Amino acid sequence: MSSVVVVGAQWGDEGKGKITNALCSDADLVVRFQGGANAGHTVSLDGVPIVFHLLPSGISVPGIQNVIGPGVVIDPIALAVEIAGVTERGVEVGENLLIDVGAHMVLPYHKALDAAEERARGQSAIGTTHRGIGPAYADRCARDGIPIGALAAFDEFRPRFEEAVARKNKHITRLYGEQPLDAREMLEQLYPVAQTLARHLADTPEMIREAIRAGLNVLFEGAQGTLLDVTFGTYPFVTSSSTTAGGVAIGTGVPPSMIGEVIGIAKAYTTRVGAGPFPTEVTDDTARMIQERGAERGATTGRARRCGWLDIVALRYSIAVNGIKRIIVTKLDVLDSFETIKVCVAYDIDGRQTDCFPRTADELGRVNPVYVEMPGWMSVTKEARHESELPPRALAYLNEICRLADVDLCSVSVGAKGEAIVEFTSVF
């Protein structure tokens, strides 16, 4: 089948944007199905990095139809800024971008509430990106949200927005003791944004289904990662959407039976931004080396990412939840100068060894990782473009992690450049 889901197999930042962008030469459609401007997908454009938050990573590739599906929550102001930014970089954003009318909006009060809720959580803060994601999805579920299609009739949107602001201001002032938001000011900001976005609004589910029926190559670009899924992640230290392959069906209107393959993206090690358990986290020189070599800083918030070794227990869990048969390993080059590389193969929980990923964050917080050690390859991999150009020990590492995770290898990314990929099997 011609539809492929690219899903993060860890805690996000696996390189989904780069991979999606790289696969565009064979794709016709790229569809975002969940998340919002909390995503930070770094893609190389003419050799210079560019970060997409809401725009699908196919936007810079001519001839690709990009869709922001109904499962995404869209901050219209952030999207307009992003469109202006990429346009400045010479990328044309016209008919190649469709925004589904049913995608809910992240409005300024959602961002204010996200920040206020985080402050109120104190020590138990989740470490959100403050992009208003949780409050926007909560409003959608509570039937209090506003779909982006509403911007097309601004005169009708205006009173609906004013009424929402009046109610949210009660929360903001009475519950959190903060300053109320000014509806008029926000409407002034939203009006030109509505004009910019109006021409992209569309009814997209049938269009995507038809593309799949017609045999076009459709790529679903996941945001965040499996372990941040609101149901299957390390709750409550998760995001508020279904980041797993199942999210495609509910976030695009494409039924599970029309989804072809699910490809998992995993770094050759692990990172996490924000709070929550992370069994293989390291905090010594190793962490600093990974952080520096991998430029492990959040593309959305600029926060330093927590770093650690590859966790096979977590990876196997992701593979099971998503139905992943092939993985793409990214950032292999970051491990180039390690004499020894550790891989977590099991967890020790209260003296008992297991290879099952715990279902509660509390239990996950108590595990001790059981490691095997592998010799590093101590040579540069970033110029490799073919399997034969990878050092034997790097190949051994890749083979071993695939054996342990019981998954096939699709390709390996060895650098930030778009072409820095070694392909083992092709995606489409």
- Return the active site residues: 13, 41
Please report whether residue 225 would count as binding Mg ion according to CB under 5 A. no
Q: Which residue is nearest to ligand IMO (CB)?
A: 274
Give the pairing of strands 352-354 and 340-349.
antiparallel
Please report whether residue 265 would count as binding Mg ion according to CB under 5 A. no
Q: Which runs of E-coded beta strand occur in 249-335?
A: 261-267, 270-272, 306-308, 310-311, 326-330
- 158 and 187 Cβ atoms separated by less than 8 Å: yes
CA distance linking residue 47 with residue 45, whole number of Å: 5
CA distances from 244 to 230, 265, 317, 319 (A): 9, 12, 11, 10
- 103 and 68 Cβ atoms separated by less than 8 Å: yes
Kindly tell me which of 13 and 311 has the beta carbon lying closer to Mg ion. 13
Please report whether residue 274 would count as binding Mg ion according to CB under 5 A. no
Shortest CB 375 distance to ligand IMO, Å: 30
Kindly tell me which of 305 and 316 has the beta carbon lying closer to ligand IMO. 305
Kindly tell me which of 278 and 377 has the beta carbon lying closer to ligand IMO. 278
Please report whether residue 299 would count as binding Mg ion according to CB under 5 A. yes
Shortest CB 298 distance to Mg ion, Å: 7
Residues forming contacts to ligand IMO in the complex (CB under 6 A) are: 8, 11-13, 38-41, 126-129, 131, 133-134, 223-225, 228, 239-240, 273-274
Shortest CB 41 distance to ligand IMO, Å: 6
Shortest CB 88 distance to ligand IMO, Å: 22
Structure tokens at 237: 């230290």
- Among 141-149, 170-178, 298-306, 405-413, which window interacts with Mg ion (CB under 5 A)? 298-306
Q: Which does 273 bind (CB under 5 to 8 A by kind): Mg ion, ligand IMO, none?
A: ligand IMO
Among all chains, which residue has been given the structure tokens 């810079």? 60
Whose CA is closest to 190, among 218, 224, 162, 217?
162
Q: Which residue is nearest to Mg ion (CB)?
A: 40
Among all chains, which residue has been given the structure tokens 């699709």? 410
Please report whether residue 40 would count as binding Mg ion according to CB under 5 A. yes
CA distance linking residue 202 with residue 162, whole number of Å: 25
Structure tokens at 222: 């996941």
Footprint on this chain of Mg ion (rule: CB under 5 A): 13, 40, 299
